[in-house]
Amino acid sequence: MTADGAALRRIHRRAIVFTTLSAAVTSFYDWRVALSLTIAAAVVVFSVLVLEKLTERLVPPQAKTGFRRLVPFLLVTAASVLLLGVAAFRWKDFSLAGGAIGISVAVAAVVSEGFVREESQGE
């Protein structure tokens, strides 16, 4: 496994752990906030997955070619964004604060990888 592959696995794992812990903590406050948080975090995680697959095509050793291989990932992203839109605008109990926390928690997983890489390169 390459260093980039290992970093992506760590980001995925952190995003799941951060989201799970945040949802567990907020569920004590209100289950609607926890659900809103989870929906928003899922959209970000799926978007990171799609970005990973899209950039995989741009890297020189292109073992996988063709747009057809990306269609499922693009559909997942579109469906997740649609779900977030439906939840945010149609579900009266959707918590905008929970959604913002969900997006932030998933982004924190990506940002934390930058700190880990910076520390390991400094040694």
pTM over 0.85: no
pLDDT for 2: 75
pLDDT for 121: 63
Distance CA 71, CA 54 (A): 10
Distance CA 118, CA 123 (A): 9
pLDDT for 50: 75
pLDDT for 65: 57
pLDDT for 84: 78
Residue with tokens 């697959």: 53
pLDDT for 120: 64
pLDDT for 66: 62
pLDDT for 58: 61
One digit per residue, the tens of pLDDT, for the chain of length 123 reads 677 777 778 888 888 888 888 889 988 988 888 888 888 888 887 777 777 777 766 665 555 556 666 677 677 777 777 877 887 788 888 888 888 888 888 778 878 877 776 666 655
Helix 71-90 and helix 96-122: axis angle, to 10°? 140
